Structure 1
Amino acid sequence: MTARLNSAQPYALGLFRIVVGLLFLCHGAAKLFGVLGGADGSGGTVDSGTWPSWYAGVIELVGGSLVLLGLGTRVAALICSGSMAYAYFKMHQPNALWPMENSGEAAAMFCWAFLLLVFTGSGALGLDRLLAKRSTATEKPAADHRPVAA
């Protein structure tokens, strides 16, 4: 059974990456465009250029899209993880110690989920893996330029 689970691990990781990226992308779309309930749940958006909400929305939208597609996953996930750590410690943690008390569960979970992706990579079903396969398939070994002995 362990062997079967191990063989499915890249696919489970790929699905995990897709779901986390999609959920993060939805948060960014809500902040920036007012869809899915908007930034405050009433369909509103954040003002362009406001710190930190608008910038967080851009990171969520772009970073979530990159993670969803599995393109530049490790770098995008590192930036997303950092933004969620900032959100937790700057916006939530001053209100109370525990995430259940300060409504910071989502920020904490996203932070740790993205940090996991930094170390694991995109898994299966990602553009990172597809592009890596294409680049190794097109590379040809260098010709041997040693002189031929007569």
Structure 2
Amino acid sequence: MSHLVTTVRTAASTTADTVRPHLIALYRAVVGLLFGCHGAASLFGVLGGAHGGGTVPAGSWPGWYAAVIQLACGALVLLGAATRPAALVASGSMAYAYFTVHQQHAPAPLQNGGEPAVLFCWAFLLIAVLGPGSFALGSRLAR
């Protein structure tokens, strides 16, 4: 029985090691795409636009700069190019957004509407730590 348990654990561990880079890549792509869509909505008025319609005025602080970071970092993370630095910038921008925009209204994300900022902040921090996974453009260009 002990040999069977060891065999099953080894097989499960091998499968997890094989699948992990692909799951990280999928996670990176989904998070990057969603973040980039926020930037595109704010800059170009697509996908419902900024704050329910329209665009953010060019050069306005902090909205326009946040939208540029969202679009650029979202695209880089989606493609897996300069993934760690882009994810770190995106994470920092969402931490800034939470503490300067949302937290002043109420202490908890559920009360102040800051859940997306908190989730993106932690999602990008995880991507910055784990790296791009498989199918990253940066890895292919380095070869």
> TM-score, normalised on structure 1?
0.86
1:89 partner amino acid:
F
Deviation at 1:2, TM superposition (A): 2.8
1:101 pairs with one of 111, 114, 120? 111
2:46 pairs with one of 28, 35, 47? 35
Between 118-127 and 10-19, report the one with greater CA deviation: 118-127
CA distance in 2, matches of 1:88, 1:59: 15
Render the CA deviation track for 1:21-76: whole Å, top value 9, x for unaligned.
Answer: 000000000100000000011x2101000000000000000010000000000000
Deviation at 1:91, TM superposition (A): 0.3
Give the aligned partner of residue 87 of structure 1: 97
Give the aligned partner of residue 4 of structure 1: 15
Secondary structure of the structure 2 residue equivalent to 1:37: coil
Q: Structure 2: which 5+ residue stretches go unaligned?
A: 1-11
* Off by >2 Å, runs of 4+ in structure 1: none
Render the CA deviation track for 1:94-123: whole Å, top value 9, x for unaligned.
Answer: 111111000000000000010011111100
CA distance in 1, matches of 2:140, 2:27: 18
CA distance in 1, matches of 2:24, 2:15: 15
1:40 partner amino acid:
H
Give the aligned partner of residue 36 of structure 2: 25
Render the CA deviation track for 1:112-137: whole Å, top value 9, x for unaligned.
Answer: 010011111100011122123x1xxx
Give the aligned partner of residue 63 of structure 2: 53
CA distance in 1, matches of 2:17, 2:119: 24
Tell whether 2:126 aligns with 1:116: yes
Give the aligned partner of residue 27 of structure 2: 16
Give the aligned partner of residue 128 of structure 1: 138
1:81 partner amino acid:
S
Secondary structure of the structure 2 residue equivalent to 1:95: coil
Q: Identity, % of aligned pairs?
A: 58
Which structure: greater helix fraction? 2
Tell whether 2:66 aligns with 1:74: no
CA distance in 2, matches of 1:115, 1:106: 14
CA distance in 2, matches of 1:96, 1:125: 41
Corresponding residue pairs, total: 132
CA distance in 2, matches of 1:7, 1:115: 23
Q: Structure 1: which 5+ residue stretches go unaligned?
A: 135-150
